[in-house]
Amino acid sequence: MTKMRTIELNSAELNRPCAIDLFSGCGGLTLGLKQAGFRVLSAVEIDSAAVRTYEANHKDVIVKHLDIRDLSPDKLRSQLGLRRGQLDLLAGCPPCQGFSTLRTRNGANRNHDPRNGLIHEMLRFAAAFRPKAIMMENVPRLAQHKPFRDFCEGLRQLGYQFEYEIKDAARYGVPQRRQRLILLASRNIDLQFAAEVPRTRTVRDAIGQMPEPGKGDDCLHNIPERRAKKVLQLIRAIPKDGGSRGDLPRRRQLDCHKNSNGFSDVYGRMAWDAVSPTITSGCSNPSKGRFLHPEQDRAITMREAALLQGFPQHYVFDLAAGKEAIALMIGNALPPEFIRRHALEIRRALLQSKPRRS
């Protein structure tokens, strides 16, 4: 059950292009849209911890805390005081776990995750709002599945032209290697993807100035970690600045690693002068990927993970949710800088466009 809040806006805010964020999570997409000059009117999210985090950082946005399948887009449009066609941008990232390579063992298994159908909810909202532009972001493998093809056909039937590409967030100012599918659609404006940046941001750029955990007043950075003695000995043995468990002699490796040829990044260190690996929901656990600090004998902290994802250091996360829930929020978030750059191009096109005669 959600209650409608009234947000008072000044004239400058009213003149900014407006957007709605579907499947908002903890607010990465919303933050990127705001940084690009959009006014985010409303967000929809089902997870309670993500909603608390979102509301702590975006008090000016009306959040619908429910299953999006239970929300009437026509009712929301009426509550927001929008006519059909008046919304500038409908943006969202439907849950993508059902299409990820990790969930399907690099495509070897079929995945029947019930969340796979949630992409159709974006189409339902597009039909009700008829926004001027649509931006949808997801994992690259989504393009190989029928729900995506159905979504594209639905956009065509609504009169939208669209284009999608696979982009690496590291080429857009995010200090992280992250391949993502991004789709842009519109009915009467020419949308362009943002240009790549000439220089990538590195792990050092993002977290090089962070104090050791426990030596500052950032509660997110200071969440403690506990490791078994054997695991801690392994971590201490991993070479600094990009080292891997594969660098160790066989006798120093864990038994579970000796006969495994896959997931070579686990218990690996990040390298200072490279981008980080993809920040996933397992970013707090070195057994889930290359999530060890470049120098210190520990996994990256939740604040460091958030910084590598592109959140500012003042971004608030719901500490009461616990470390695993925070890692899930951060790993599932959209990098704000990646969104900002593409949203700037959408905003530019919206401001320059003139209605076409039908």
Q: What positions carry a catalytic annotation? A: 96
Sign of CA dihedral 246, 227, 295, 277: positive
> Bridge-partner residues for 176, per DSSP?
276
Measured in whole angstroms, how far is the alpha carbon of residue 60 from the centre of its chain?
20
CA 44/CA 316 separation, integer angstroms = 19
CA 86/CA 37 separation, integer angstroms = 17
Strand ranges, E, within 52-140: 62-65, 89-92, 133-138
CA 195/CA 73 separation, integer angstroms = 33
The H or E element containing residue 166 is strand 161-168
Q: Is the Cβ–Cβ distance between 330 and 279 less than 8 Å?
A: yes
Sheet with 179-186, side-by-side order of all strands: 62-65, 39-45, 18-22, 89-92, 133-138, 179-186, 161-168
> Pick from 321, 342, 340, 339: which is nearest to 56 by CA?
321
Query: Which amino acid, residue 124?
Result: R
